[in-house]
Chains A and B, each alone.
Chain A
Amino acid sequence: MKFPRHLLSIGDLSRESATALLDTAAELARISDGQIKKLPTLRGRTVVNLFFEDSTRTRISFETAAKRLSADVINFVAKGSSVSKGESLKDTALTLQAMGADAVIIRHHASGAPQRLADAGWIAGPVINAGDGTHEHPTQALLDAFTIRHHLAKDRGTLDGLEIAIVGDILHSRVARSNIFLLSMLGAKVTVIAPATLLPVGIESWPCSISYDLDDSIEKFDAIMALRIQRERMEQAFFPSEREYSRHYGLNGDRLSRLKSGAILLHPGPMNRGVEIDAKSADSVRSVIVDQVTNGVFVRMAVLYLLLSGSPANLAEEVKG
């Protein structure tokens, strides 16, 4: 099995490497649960958080993961930095390389920016996509898959046959895109549920079914993931009003009571309580939203460990035992 050099999209992973990554994260979770809080694995390596878009939780999650593996972390936030003075991505990358960055975690508002960074050869180390435009957010999908596997498929390794719904703004959501590809690769049956205005063109060719009605089939799902409705979308008339969206697609007490026994609710955060999910659902025993945050650290530790161990020369080498 091979691990990719960079993690830019779910397409970089195979079913085997994704499973090995989730297994590694599970082992990291197990040992971190005991006495070991800090591991020496990445001592002396420098990881840069290059964030062109605000995202406190993703940045903190990566930072925590890197620090638990003893890496040094540099946070480069575009706001108030040289970028706001007009520096190009290339010059920023060359600067980071000159400072000795061993890996770059990038969040960018433009789809494809991490790909550009990885392909251009400005940076020697691995590039990890922490969300780019409306393209992908692979570590979020990995932590969602990890959380679903932990709750519904303990130690089974696959999500074969699980019914998973992703509800909301599929059109603008990189979280949805990464999740559809990863969850289906791991064997789950994914259904996207949204108003037609929030579905991307060409979604028929994606590995998922499409539904416009949440109430139609809510009883069949093992996991339901509600996506954040971003405020700016509400002003662009993708749906008539917040209340109407909430009535048709929001998770609420009534829908909660119709769920299959053992079903779980996910949300990538930050939540708009009362829009895509109400307080009763978010705080119910079904909700694994807090677990998602905890698991995010373990998944990102696994990503950093697997991408940063090994030098470029032997990355192509097969992994044994």
Chain B
Amino acid sequence: MTRIVLAREEISRAVRRISHEILERNKGADSLLLLGIPTRGVLLAQRIQAEIAAIEGKEVALGSLDITLHRDDLRLRAPRPLHRTEIPTGGIEGRDVVLIDDVFFSGRTIRAALDALGELGRPATVQLAVLIDRGHRELPIRADFVGKNLPTSRSEQVKVQLEPIDSEDGVVLEG
């Protein structure tokens, strides 16, 4: 069974609200660094950057953080090629880093991201923004900004589709 959870407009509303919340929490955009987790987290980060630019008239720093080499399940999965890590010049030292991902599930991706950040420096704060929080945490990690809380069963699959990687925007629950 397939069910549409978020349509195109709802995704953009959620992204707009998250952008406002990020600005409110951090009292502006000056110290912010948005780090998207590939692949769709990077697209969300770009959209949040565009929203913040529209609200504040400022371009916040943007990057991507591939966590593949820090995963704890490398031995359990087929080998996978790496995605791009792109840290803006100036690094993460002393910045308010917002990690951005599409689906928040076990929390293991974020644990790996925290490890990866630790290799790069010492940010002032690390916050987490996700489009969908589907529950089933396996680690004591929570999100600061959530697009939608979506109660799911473990057997279900949440698919986030974002342009231009996918043909159209939408969040679908399958299974």
Contact = CB atoms under 8 A, between A and B. Distances in A.
Residue of A31, A35, A36, A319 ringed by the most chain B CB atoms within 10 A? A31
Given A31-B85, A310-B75, A320 B69 contact: no
A43 to B, nearest CB: 10
Contacts of A31: 85
A235 interface: no
Interface string B83-94: 111010001000
Given A27-B66, A41-B74, A305-B69, A36 B119 contact: yes
Contacts of B82: 23-24, 27-28
Contacts of B74: 41, 309-310
Interface in A34-78: 34-36, 38-41, 69
B46 interface: no
A34 B69 CA distance: 16
A23 B68 CA distance: 14
A314 B85 contact: no
B80 A27 contact: no
B28 interface: no
Contacts of A306: 79, 81
A132 to B, nearest CB: 24
Most buried by A among B74, B77, B81, B85: B81
Given A35-B91, A305-B69, A314 B77 contact: yes
Interface in A1-30: 3, 20, 23-24, 27-28, 30
A271 interface: no
B78 A36 contact: no
A240 interface: no
Contacts of B81: 20, 23-24, 27, 306, 319
A307 to B, nearest CB: 7
Interface string B45-88: 00000000000000000000010011000111111111111010
A40 B70 contact: yes
Interface string A306-321: 1101110011011111
A309 B75 contact: yes
B7 interface: no
Contacts of B76: 310-311, 314
Question: Which range contains the number of A residues in contact with the other chain?
Answer: 20 to 34
B170 to A, nearest CB: 18
B39 interface: yes
Contacts of B120: 34-36
A41 B69 CA distance: 5
B115 interface: yes
A44 B82 CA distance: 21
Residue picked from B78, B85, B87, B115, most chain A C-beta under 10 Å: B78
B79 A319 contact: yes
A70 to B, nearest CB: 10
A65 B116 CA distance: 19
Contacts of B79: 3, 305-307, 309-310, 315, 319
Contacts of A23: 81-82
Given A307-B79, A311-B75, A319-B81, A39 B39 contact: no
Interface string B109-127: 0000001000111000000
Interface in A278-321: 305-307, 309-311, 314-315, 317-321
Contacts of A309: 74-75, 77, 79-80
Given A27-B85, A35-B119, A40-B115, A319 B69 contact: no
Contact of B39 (A3, A307, A321): A321
Contacts of A41: 69-70, 74
Nearest to A19: B81
Contact of A318 (B70, B75, B78, B85): B78
Contacts of B75: 309-311
A23 B74 CA distance: 19
Interface of B: 39, 66, 69-70, 74-85, 87, 91, 115, 119-121
* Closest 4 pairs between A and B when the two form their complex, measured CB to CB: A309-B74, A317-B78, A27-B82, A41-B69
Interface of A: 3, 20, 23-24, 27-28, 30-31, 34-36, 38-41, 69, 305-307, 309-311, 314-315, 317-321
20 contacts: A3-B79, A23-B82, A27-B66, A27-B81, A27-B85, A31-B85, A36-B119, A38-B119, A39-B69, A39-B70, A39-B119, A40-B70, A306-B79, A309-B79, A309-B80, A310-B75, A310-B76, A311-B75, A318-B78, A319-B79
